[in-house]
Amino acid sequence: MKNNHKIGIVGLGYVGLPLAVEFGKKYKTAAYDINRDRVSELLNGLDSTGEITKRNLQSSIKLSLSSDINSLKDCNIYIISVPTPINNKNEPDLSILFSATKNIGQLIKKDDIVIYESTVYPGCTEEDCVPLLEKESGMKYNKDFFCGYSPERINPGDKKRTVTKIVKVTSGSNYRIAKIVDDLYSSIITSGTFLASSIKVAEAAKIIENCQRDINIAFVNELSILFDKMDLDTQEVLDAAGTKWNFLPFRPGLVGGHCIGVDPYYLTYKAKQLGYDSKIILSGRKLNDNYVKYINENINNHFVKITNKKKLNALLMGVTFKENCPDIRNSKVFLLHELMIKKFNIDVYDPYASKDEVMSKHNVNLVDFNCLKSSSYDCLVICVAHSEFLNININSLIRNKDSLVYDFKGIYNNNKFMRL
């Protein structure tokens, strides 16, 4: 198989597409997505996620795209990169992953390798996915077919740390397969790879990356609540503490998206299966999930003290789950909008998010920049640190000296009207 890789990619989202493009520059690569509209836009050179340019797509000369799963039947290495969300009980929802696994199980042949990129709890690949592959294929794991795991580390919106420039953790179901998987990724990853001793180690490494970040954000979110009661500027305190070389530069904020607000629940779910109830991880999750309510209460308390007006005007700046990308998955800004609309007339502005997607999924209307009302907002909340916001004169948008600029991302640190 060394010089005969035929790669099949399942899923063309933020993870699968960049991989498909890079592999397609070197190997015959067939990429599949169940969403026909997604495939159609890519065939026309458009990536609505903003991660891949038309020029980069065109440079992947060995890549083919399809919404037909049978387009992958001639491949010998399959890479599954589909979403692994949670359900309304904050438990893993593996239905998409299992569906993709069953489909690939019907296609794999003897000696084929199935590599998983989707974030899962430790043990999921071999304990949950492999039995499905065996059932659908009629073959035996590590005898007739093999598996690998190389967790995605995509950072949406980051134009510097793209897929080839992020160290890749790799693993395989035995040493020979692990070496094939590692060599495969090494051929496109310029930052190098880390070959883990087992699939389970690689799964665990990925899940704790986001758990660690979630806990660190929860810590500074709690600090912001505490410092507010002390009448201290959280940003100033963090800046001062940050002068020490080993102080971590985390900032308060809403925690959403497809990773940080989701992955901790995968690890705590597995922990509970093993009879261990998480202490720190779930505490951090609870605090971050409730932080949006604190923001809403803080805003309401501010205006109770200074006005009797029944309905005020507010502007929410940003709805995506992070800066400089169009991804609105699991964004907590929509919950803030839902809480605030009871007392405010709200305009929402985001230069990255899709108007149609925001309206269809959340029934929220995004306004254009030229529709923002001059000198009319009683409350302005910077929810996302989009770089474009730095070019906006927020003084021209707020009504008066009693207006509240709630900048918990700290991008307007020197504005005299800011309240934290």
The helix/strand/coil state of 402 is: coil
From the list 124, 129, 147, 259, the catalytic residue is: 259
The helix/strand/coil state of 247 is: coil
Cα separation, 204 vs 65, whole angstroms: 32
Q: Which residue has the tokens 């919950």?
A: 335
Q: How many Cα atoms sit within 13 Å of 360 on the Cβ side? A: 6
Tokens read off for 399: 């009504």
Query: Which residue, 136, 187, 152, 198, is CA-closest to 5?
Result: 187
Cα Rg of the chain, angstroms? 23
DSSP-assigned beta bridge partners for residue 314? 346, 379
What values do phi and psi take at 227, rounded to 5?
-70, -30
147 is catalytic: no
Strand order across the 63-66 sheet: 63-66, 28-32, 6-10, 77-80, 113-116, 146-149
Please return the burial class of 102, using the count of CB atoms within 10 Å of its CB with bins 0-12, 13-18 and 19+.
middle
DSSP-assigned beta bridge partners for residue 360? none
Active site residues: 259
